[in-house]
Chains A and B, each alone.
Chain A
Amino acid sequence: MLRWRRHLPAMLLMLLSWTLHAGGDDPSLWLERMGQSLHTHSYEGTFIFQRGDRIDTVRVVHAAEDGGYRERLQTLTGSSREVIRSVDRISAIKGARVDGGGGQQGAPQRPPAIAGMLLRADEHYHLKSPGYDRIAGFPCYMLHAEALDGYRYSHQYCLHRDTGLPLLSELIDADGQLLERLVFTELEFLDVVFEESLKARGCDARHIEVRAADGGGTVTGQDGDWYFEGLPPGFSTVIATERLFGPDSPPSLHFVLSDGLATVSVYVATAEEVSEAFEGYTRSGATHAVARPVAGRQVTVVGEVPKKTVERIAESARFRASGAGEDAPAR
């Protein structure tokens, strides 16, 4: 015990040093740093985005500010495209707040122990690092999150050594086939981002404003609760909110499910009359989507996960009418 105390200062120093050096070589800490990097660092650069056999080159200016970020993206190859995107992270966080347990009356059930679930993401991915590499002239930490079952894809990253920013990001299916790859070819970190550089250059730029807290963090089903039973292993509800797709549209419930890395959205159209429910499946790159009627509502599941995962999530959607003791059938 005495010996332990004697070494305490040295251990604290080591801990501090380890923290300062980007979390040492612990892959799960690097994952966390990666997540934070987008909101804490500003940069300008060029990256290549590969999806299947298609390759695009994109210029990006990214300004982290007020807990959120703004960015301007412009294609350098093919037809000219420009997107100005702003993400209000503060409201995103507000909207994402999760009940500690129980939930409020009428709100969908949400798991009480989200934190534990997220920290155990490595139950469903094997996290490992082959070491350091170099991308766009920067040393980066290689992080492989290998999927342990068929319900998710494997992720490979190379994270900027000093900031955790993903300089390389890849999504790989169970057969080892590359689904998507984003890799920076040139990057400069910025202390100041001039407003001018975030302005659209062309008149046809697309503006995207992400306000994640449309529902203010409260979700109230019109006449009952939606919840999930029998989700794919590792997946859990992390965000539940209400979303309007337009001024005239009826609100949809929006659930975000995650296994710690992969993200899946579940939309439940709450319109009283689903005039023309649709059922089907579509895919765009690594994003799969399935739509089907459940308990008389339109349920649409979208995520960067395999087809069978979105299907199983759709099958797990349950509706419990207010005052009903029994769950409505899934379909």
Chain B
Amino acid sequence: MNNQVSKSERLSALVDNETDTFETRRLIDELMKSGEDRAQWSRFHLIGDSLRGGMTQVAPADFLARVQESIAADGPLDVSERSGQRLRWLKPVAGVGVAATVAMVSLLGLQMVTGGDDDAPTVTVEVAPASEPAETEMVTAPDPRFARYLENHAELVAPGSSAFARVRNSVDGE
């Protein structure tokens, strides 16, 4: 039982971006191995999105019912403990093409869209501390392994001009 509570808290911390790098990696590895953990991870995102209050603007009619089901499924958990605090995003993933000077991803979070085409995303998970409504129609968390690749890309290959600079300098260095 203790282990279960602990796992929930750790997953919640992951969703809230309150884990350190090592713990994040470990949790992602654990998520890979356990479908149950992944389901709970998805529900935590769902809860976070619902608390941000934006989802009902675009969500399907039965969405709130599903949110309530999910919340019920997870019991009181630790969401209520932070009721006065806006939930944060899962993991600062980022990447944004324009931000020539900054790691915008890490700072502002990420909105991962899964499935569908660019024009018609069918599944969106908002994992940023956003104040704007998520364009969610249904919730299925993107594979968490995407997050670390997005983050790594954003951190190591600074997008836009700095990438250009790095490329240029690698050539100059020859």
Chain A interfacial positions (CB closer than 8 Å to B): 31-32, 34-39, 47, 49, 51-54, 56, 58, 60, 62, 71, 73, 75, 78-79, 81-83, 85, 87, 89, 92-94, 96-98, 100, 114-115, 118, 153, 155, 157, 165-166, 169-171, 179-182, 204, 206, 208, 210, 212, 238-239, 243, 245-249, 254, 256, 258, 260-263, 265, 267, 275-276, 278, 280-287, 289, 291, 300, 302-304, 306-307
A38 touches B100 (CB 8 A): yes
With a CB–CB cut-off of 8 A, which chain B residues contact A267? 149, 152
Which residues of chain A have C-beta atoms less than 8 A from B117's C-beta? 307
**Residue B51 is within 8 A (CB to CB) of chain A in the complex:** no
- B114 interfacial contact with A, CB 8 Å: yes
Is the Cβ of A38 less than 8 Å from the Cβ of B155? no
Interface pick from B5-13, B60-68, B69-77, B103-111 = B103-111
**6 nearest CB pairs, A to B:** A35-B165, A304-B97, A96-B170, A180-B98, A263-B163, A265-B153
Q: Would you give 16 A-B contacts (Cβ < 8 Å), ordered by A?
A: A60-B101, A78-B130, A79-B86, A97-B170, A114-B167, A208-B155, A249-B25, A261-B164, A267-B152, A275-B32, A284-B96, A284-B112, A287-B97, A287-B150, A302-B95, A304-B97
Contact of B150 (CB < 8 Å), options: A51, A98, A284, A307: A284
- The reply on B53 being an interface residue by CB < 8 A is no
Query: Which chain B residues have a beta carbon within 8 Å of chain A's beta carbons?
Result: 18, 21-22, 25, 32-33, 86, 88, 92-108, 110-115, 117-118, 121, 129-132, 142-143, 145-146, 148-150, 152-171, 173-174
Known contacts being A98-B174, A302-B149, A307-B118, is A283 close to B168, with CB within 8 Å? no
CB <8 Å contact, A239 and B170: yes
Q: B166's contact among A53, A96, A114, by CB below 8 Å, is which?
A: A96
Evaluate contact between A285 and B174: CB separation under 8 angstroms.
no
Are A285 and B161 interface neighbours, CB within 8 A? Answer: no
Chain A residues within 8 Å of B154, by CB? 287
Identify the closest chain B residue to A280 (Cβ).
B143
**How far, in whole Å, are A157 and B132 apart by their CA atoms in the complex?**
26
List chain A residues, Cβ under 8 A from B97.
153, 171, 179-180, 262, 285-287, 304
B168–A35 contact, CB under 8 A?
Answer: yes
Alpha-carbon distance A39/B107, docked complex (angstroms): 20
Interface centre among B21, B32, B98, B111 (most CB of A within 10 A): B98
Whether A291 contacts B164 in the complex (CB less than 8 A), given A166-B100, A182-B98, A284-B110, comes out as: no
The reply to whether B159 and A300 form a contact with Cβ atoms under 8 Å apart is no
CA distance A295 to B106 in the complex (A): 32
Query: Which residue of A is nearest B164, CB measured?
Result: A35
- Chain A residue nearest in CB terms to B114: A282
From A71, A275, A280, A285, B101 is in contact (CB under 8 Å) with A71
In the complex, what residues of A have CB within 8 A of residue B131's CB? 54, 78
In the complex, are the beta carbons of B102 and A60 less than 8 A apart?
yes
Q: How far is the CB of A102 from chain B (nearest CB, A)?
A: 14
Instruction: Report whether A75 and B113 are in contact in the complex, using a CB–CB cutoff of 8 Å.
Output: no
- Once the chains bind, are B167 and A238 in contact (CB under 8 Å)? yes
Q: Find A263's partner among B107, B143, B155, B157 (CB 8 Å cutoff).
A: B157
Chain A residues near B129: list those with CB within 8 A.
Answer: 78-79, 81
User: CB-CB < 8 A to B94: which residues of A?
Assistant: 284, 287
Determine the residue in chain A with the shortest Cβ distance to B105.
A284
Residues of chain B lying within 8 A (CB to CB) of residue A258: 163-164, 167
B153 pairs with A238, CB closer than 8 A: no
Q: Please give, as numbers and ranges, the residues of chain A lying within 8 Å of B165 by CB-CB distance.
A: 34-36, 38-39
Complex alpha-carbon distance, A153 and B88, angstroms: 30
**Contacts known (A265-B153, A307-B117); A118 close to B167, Cβ less than 8 A:** yes
Contact between B118 and A306, CB atoms less than 8 A apart? yes
Residues of B with C-beta under 8 A to A285? 95-97, 110-111
Given contacts A92-B166, A208-B155, A265-B149, contact A35 B143 (CB under 8 A): no
Report B56 CB to chain A, min CB distance, Å: 17
Q: Which of A31, A35, A54, A115 contacts B130 (CB 8 A)?
A: A54
Contact partners of A256 in chain B: CB under 8 A: 157, 163, 167
B153 A35 Cβ-Cβ under 8 A: no
Q: Are B171 and A115 in contact (CB under 8 A)?
A: yes
Residues of chain B contacted by A75 (CB below 8 angstroms): 107-108
Since A83-B107, A204-B18, A304-B160 are in contact, a sample of 13 more A-B pairs with Cβ atoms closer than 8 Å, ordered by chain A residue number, is A32-B164, A81-B129, A93-B173, A96-B173, A155-B160, A180-B98, A243-B152, A245-B25, A245-B152, A248-B25, A265-B152, A276-B32, A281-B115
